Amino acid sequence: MSERETIGSEVAKSPELPSKPDEYDEPYVFRYPVVALLIGSGILGIVSSVALVALLTVVHGPEVFTFYEVTVDGETTTFAMDLTAIAVPFLAALVVTTVVHELLHGIVFRFYGYDVSYGVAPAMGAFYAAAFGQFQKRAELLRVGLAPLVGITAVCIPLLFVPVPIVALTAAFVLVLNTAGAIGDLYATWRLWRLPEGTLLYDVDIRRSYVYEPSA
């Protein structure tokens, strides 16, 4: 059964959903394939981690990874890791990525005149910036969706070349976390790109989103 065929029951549960605008088809549900996105996020995280480790090693040498030390004494090899040295840049990157990622979504939303809501969805393990209760234009959402990935990547890549290990490592962590965390944005952008120009989206809340396509 398609999304369009199940819209009747969904609308019945969403009294806040507005009537379709003139010259638009009836709305249908926009859903995220959660399992596929989790797998995709993991793949993006692994690939970006490997690429950044290789880049940092080329740019700064292996000594940039000051949080571990390998000692070889005859036939004995000892591996030691300073968890503090790795935890500080990681936690800093986690906070920065979470806040800045959603803030950039919100800034672009506000640029286009939307009222923005920020929040946390514990059941989904996600933070969000959203424009609930408003028709959102496809062309504008394409920019909203890609803003954090493009903006954070543009800022962090030059920081990888700063000859201060903690700065380069923090930038690398930010890039990995932001890239892996952008999987939902990338999926939504791909879906939106395939929809007709003039398509509108409407978010009732963090769990319920609907698509209004122009009538053919």
pLDDT value at position 19? 85
Phi, psi for 75 (deg, rounded to 5): -95, 5
Using CA atoms, how far apart are residues 115 and 161, in angstroms rounded to an integer? 38
What is the 8-class DSSP label of residue 124? Answer: G
pLDDT value at position 77? 62
- On the question of pLDDT at 72 being above 70, the answer is no
Give per-residue pLDDT as tens, 121-137: 876 667 899 999 999 99
**186 alpha carbon, distance to own chain's centre:** 7
Query: How much is the average pLDDT of 30-44?
Result: 94
Contact partners, residue 193, CB within 8 Å, separation at least 6? 142
Query: How much is the average pLDDT of 89-111?
Result: 93
Query: How much is the average pLDDT of 33-59?
Result: 93
pLDDT value at position 2? 45
**198 conformational bin, left if phi > 0, alpha if psi -120 to 50, beta if neither:** left
- On the question of pLDDT at 69 being above 70, the answer is no
Identify which has the larger pLDDT, 140 or 72.
140
CB 98 within 8 A of CB 174: no
What 3 state SS string does 85-123 have? HHHHHHHHHHHHHHHHHHHHHHHHHHHCCCCCEEEEEHH
Judge if pTM exceeds 0.85. no
Reported as a pLDDT band with limits 50, 70 and 90, residue 63 is confident
- On the question of pLDDT at 190 being above 70, the answer is yes
pLDDT value at position 18? 86
Q: For the chain, what percent of residues have pLDDT higher than 70? A: 81
Give per-residue pLDDT as tens, 141-168: 999 999 999 999 999 999 999 998 889 9
Reported as a pLDDT band with limits 50, 70 and 90, residue 15 is low
pLDDT value at position 39? 96
- On the question of pLDDT at 29 being above 80, the answer is yes
Using CA atoms, how far apart are residues 101 and 150, in angstroms rounded to an integer? 10
DSSP helix, strand, coil percent of the chain (3-state; round to 5): 55, 20, 25
Query: How much is the average pLDDT of 11-27?
Result: 77
pLDDT value at position 8? 43
- B/e letters for 117-152, b = 16+ CB within 10 Å, e = fewer, are beeeeeeeeeebbbbbebebbbebbeebbbbbbebb
User: End-to-end alpha-carbon separation of the chain, Å?
Assistant: 22
